[in-house]
Structure 1
Amino acid sequence: MSFEEKLMSQKKPAFPVTEELNSYLIKHSRNIKIPVFYEDLLRFQGSVTVYDNNDNDTLWIRVYYSEFERQEIDLSLKKVYTILHSNGNEDTIQYLNIDAVDYCTFGNSKPFRIKVRNILNDNYTYFYVKKTDASRIYGLELEHMLSPYNLNYLVYKNTLIEEHIAGIPGDVFIKDNLPNCSALEKAQIAKEFVKFNERCMIRLLGDMRSYNYVIVPTHDFDNVVYKIRAIDFDQQCFEGKFKVYYPQFFKENITMVQLVGEKLSSPSIEQYKLEERSIVAKRILSSEKRITELVSCMKNDVISTEKNIDLLKQQIFDFTKDIPFKKSDNMGEILENALSFVKRNYENVSMR
């Protein structure tokens, strides 16, 4: 049995969207009628394997539809793009082309990736069509409120539309880019991994193996600044083992963990953890009403198993010695107590 199979308990099922969560999505303009469903895209007639620039199988296939189906699907996907990016204004549809529809059979969500090109200037972008899963929606919302990044997505009935998160996949970056980074850049990446690790743990986002996050390089004067962004939110508050919520414990991230050990001292690591906890606490305070609404949905929802809930609340209690964790009845209450713990510690420090 592999390390991940020991760490990850089982394949996570997709959880349905409750009426309460649906009402939350409507209130915050996340639930909008769209002209195409996930099942519509499954009607493809054939496919070919998609390879990367080095002729490696990407685990995506490019799908093809009958001529009649293609016209209808292309128009519907263009309309989805306008809903996602321009509030449904269809004036630009004539300038859009659907260059590719790719399907991934790897992983839980089995998404479709849509490549949209502006024919006036050849600029292109992507979006994803997936089956709805309450875990993923909770993960997207928490990322939107608690991370440095805003997320753009839509939900309608059984279909989830997600905006593409640009960046270099973590596994590709570790293999191809990291060896060529300067010593200063490596130290900065190590710092970002510590902060990313802490942020995932605080909001209980699991399974951040290297292919589930991206590295985003940004040029700043004569330096390149690197940030780390999660791109997969299926494992929000599902697993019972606390280690699953730490990216550092996955073998795919061993190079990043070693980098942290080489480039950062223990006091620096603690400093960056404290900085990230403080930043997350400020975000909790600034979005407190909306977070409370979301957590209320989670507390009335079933997004994990009793076994996982019992294990996680005990392991977090062992880590924090905070009594409310032992009294948690579901994943929503565990997350509520985790966010309260971070906020409380921040407020206590601020009052000194």
Structure 2
Amino acid sequence: MGDDLMSKKKPSFPISEKLNAYLNEYSRNIKIPIFYEDLLRFSGSIVVYDEDDNDTLWLRVYYNEFEREEIDYALKKVYSILISDGNDDILQYLSVDTIDFCTFGNSQPFRIKVRNVLNDNFTYFYIKKADASRIYGLELEHMLSPYNLNYLVHKDTLIEEHIAGIPGDVFIKEYLPKCTEFQKSQIAKEFVKFNERCMIRLLGDMRSYNYVFVVTPDFDHVVYKVRAIDFDQQNYEGRLKIYRPQFFKENSTMVELVRSKLLKTSINQYKVEERSIVAKRILNSIEQLGDLLECMKDDHISKSEYVESLKMEIFNFTNDLQFKRATNMGEVLIAAIDFIKRNYEDVNMTRLMQ
């Protein structure tokens, strides 16, 4: 389990003309005043440590005074476009507090902290080098998960709003042991649903630091949800296990929690529930999803040997010939979406005829 499941490093795939047209059609493509490469011109950096003096793998970067003023203005403008209507009126109330750079992982993002000087509220957004895999992952998450995602693309630059939550590895180590037995049961249920959702839409590499726990107080209890924050590994790897978070060693504590808290019948019930919810989302976004899958079908986002191994593994699992006939990762995902949709419609038709 764990790292030995993954190939060495996924390459970044360029945005095709067809995907670019899709982004235009659905208002994701918009002109912005700064590019990823502009932020690479920093003149110095220091390591960012957490409150326990551990290296966070982020570097706080600095720019010479002549460039910093121009970069600050451009970043505030990007924030206004991402969060609001792009109006310059709010820029006077914004401050770019920090710019951090991460060399860990595929996307090597910049993390921008923007503060409202009137009330000291702050938020983050990210600037990354655009990668077709990640954009497909973001769009599929937006359509097929419970969560809406806010992001923009311009040429080879990707802007993403911060996804709030407690990182999975931190939650498992520091928060989970303090949870009540009832809360642990709820968390186990959510992990089963998250695991199923990732497998259905073929989102890979959900190790504990690639998802977060969203904790929401309700009127009589606390609600826990699990959501992905990294989408680079959409439809790339050739083994089905990589699309199932339960097989990563970083999630072994969660797997044990599921085993200890849930009966097999409950696990199966939660899987069916999640498949049904995803099927409804597929039907509700059928036109846009179809447009996205058409882009993916004509795109090159994986290796031919990965396509071959993944489609045959899923074919052996489902006996659905559509997987066997797939020639690229887009067609593998189309087969997966069709499989879920067909099963949902068949079950509903059976109910109607009873």
TM over 0.5: yes
How much does 1:87 deviate?
A: 2.0
Q: Give SS of 2:18's match.
A: helix
The letter for the 2-side match of 1:7 is: L
Gaps of 5+ in 1: none
Residue of structure 2 in register with 1:281 after alignment: 279
> Aligned pair 1:263/2:261, yes or no?
yes
> Aligned pair 1:324/2:322, yes or no?
yes
Matches within 5 A, 1:1-352: 3-352=1-350
Give the Cα–Cα distance (whole angstroms) in 1 for the partners of residues 162 and 37 of structure 2.
20
Give the Cα–Cα distance (whole angstroms) in 2 for the partners of residues 250 and 236 of structure 1.
16
Please, what is the CA RMSD of the aligned residues?
Answer: 0.6
Gaps of 5+ in 2: none
1:229-249 alpha-carbon deviations (Å, 9 max, x no partner): 100000000000010000000
How much does 1:86 deviate?
A: 0.8
Give the Cα–Cα distance (whole angstroms) in 2 for the partners of residues 5 and 170 of structure 1.
17
Q: Give SS of 2:142's match.
A: helix
Q: Give SS of 1:289's match.
A: helix
How much does 1:351 deviate?
A: 1.1
The letter for the 1-side match of 2:226 is: I
How much does 1:4 deviate?
A: 3.3
CA contact (8 A) 2:60 2:99 kept: yes
How much does 1:41 deviate?
A: 0.3
How much does 1:90 deviate?
A: 1.5
Q: Give SS of 1:154's match.
A: strand
Give the Cα–Cα distance (whole angstroms) in 2 for the partners of residues 90 and 21 of structure 1.
30
The TM-score normalised by the length of structure 1 is 0.99
1:131-166 alpha-carbon deviations (Å, 9 max, x no partner): 010000000000000000000000001100000000
CA contact (8 A) 2:2 2:250 kept: no
Q: Give SS of 1:351's match.
A: helix
Give the Cα–Cα distance (whole angstroms) in 2 for the partners of residues 226 and 6 of structure 1.
30
Give the Cα–Cα distance (whole angstroms) in 2 for the partners of residues 186 and 6 of structure 1.
29
How much does 1:167 deviate?
A: 0.2
The TM-score normalised by the length of structure 2 is 0.98
How much does 1:94 deviate?
A: 0.2
The letter for the 2-side match of 1:269 is: I
1:3-47 alpha-carbon deviations (Å, 9 max, x no partner): 434311231000000000000000100000000000000000101
The letter for the 1-side match of 2:35 is: F
How much does 1:74 deviate?
A: 0.3
1:101-120 alpha-carbon deviations (Å, 9 max, x no partner): 00001001100000000000
How much does 1:79 deviate?
A: 0.2
1:297-320 alpha-carbon deviations (Å, 9 max, x no partner): 000000000000000000000111
Number of residue pairs the alignment of both structures matches: 350
Give the Cα–Cα distance (whole angstroms) in 2 for the partners of residues 225 and 15 of structure 1.
37
Deviates more, 1:86-95 or 1:325-334: 86-95
CA contact (8 A) 2:2 2:247 kept: no
How much does 1:53 deviate?
A: 1.1
How much does 1:343 deviate?
A: 0.4
